Amino acid sequence: MGRMTVKVDDKVEAKFRSAAAEKFKSRKGYLKAAMAEAVNNWLEEKGRK
């Protein structure tokens, strides 16, 4: 499994964490699941999946 470290604007991070917690009910690993979904959606949008 790969690891990525990124820096984003504080407001973007807060929105992402809030949306992820809402969708995944703040279960263990919710940020990981949300990030994987976001990256996969982006790749699909770009036709790279």
Residue 29: the pLDDT is 95
23/17 Cα distance (integer angstroms): 10
Residue 48: the pLDDT is 76
Residue 26: the pLDDT is 87
The residues, any chain, with a CB within 8 Å of residue 40's CB and separated by 6 or more, are 49
Residue 49: the pLDDT is 61
pLDDT digits (tens, 9 = 90+) for 2-49: 999 999 999 999 999 999 999 999 899 999 999 999 999 999 999 976
pTM comes to 0.82
Of 10, 9, 31, 8, give the one whose Cα is nearest residue 20. 31
Residues 30, 20 contacting (CB under 8 angstroms): yes
